[in-house]
Amino acid sequence: MRFMKLWQLLKRNEKLQLLLLTGLLFPPLSLNLLVVTTSHVRQMIIATIVLASPWPLILGFIWMHFRALRPSAPLRPISSSALSPRRSTSSKTRGPVVFRPPGSILLCIVSWLPISNKSIERVFRPLVAELQDEYIRAYAAGHHWESRFIRLRYYIAFLLTLGAFVASASLKRVVEIWKIIP
């Protein structure tokens, strides 16, 4: 009964249809449309920038995880045929492929950010070390999908750590400045 009422409401209200459709396709945009209905242009622009900004990053990480980064064998044995000089150059039989260990890209990203080596050693390297440990254990046990899930979970944990670190460092700096001011 409640569903039927909702359906009738949805059929009548075009604005609600548009919100639902955009909400399914791109959630931040639906929130923007909500702001548009209040006719505040400045709010709409701010909301667009704030809400759309993390999406390329999130989508990029998901794409990297499911497409580019396949589960890699931790200790892949090199076959003798792969080392022979007459190797096929086709894509399937190209020979041994060297994969990066999971988390190495995260450490590369961190090394490019303005973060001290001490903080990288104490905050980000232990996280990557535990990602590699858990990933390798799951992979060695034959749980390939679990290893993918672990990798994704640690990527999210990495983003949270980065956020918490930036917030903590900023707060620390603000307190230092506050103490300097007489």
Least separation in angstroms between CB 39 and other proteins: 38
Q: How many CB atoms lie within 10 A of CB 26?
A: 14
Cα separation of the two ends of the chain:
66
Shorter beta-carbon distance to other proteins: residue 15 or 153: 153
CB of 156 to other proteins, least distance (A): 7
175: helix, coil or strand?
A: helix
Smaller CB distance to other proteins: residue 35 or 155? 155
Q: Which residues bind other proteins (CB under 8 A)?
A: 74-75, 101, 103, 119, 122-130, 132-134, 136-137, 140, 153-154, 156-161, 163-165, 168
Q: Which is nearer to other proteins, 130 or 146 (CB)?
A: 130
Q: Residue with structure tokens 């060695």?
A: 140
- Cβ proximity to other proteins, 137 vs 143, nearer residue: 137
> How many residues can be counted in the chain?
182
CA 96 distance to own-chain centroid: 29
How far apart are alpha carbons 126 and 128 in whole angstroms? 5
Nearer to other proteins, 22 or 72 (CB): 72
Rounded to a whole number of angstroms, the minimum distance from the CB of residue 140 to other proteins is 8
Select from 52, 54, 32 the least CA-distant residue to 44: 32
3-state helix, strand, coil in the chain (%, to 5): 75, 0, 25
Minimum distance of other proteins from residue 80's CB (angstroms) = 23
Instruction: Please report, to the nearest 10 degrees, the dihedral formed by the alpha carbons of residues 171, 162, 138, 143 taken in order.
Output: 120
Smallest separation (angstroms) from other proteins to the CB of 160: 3
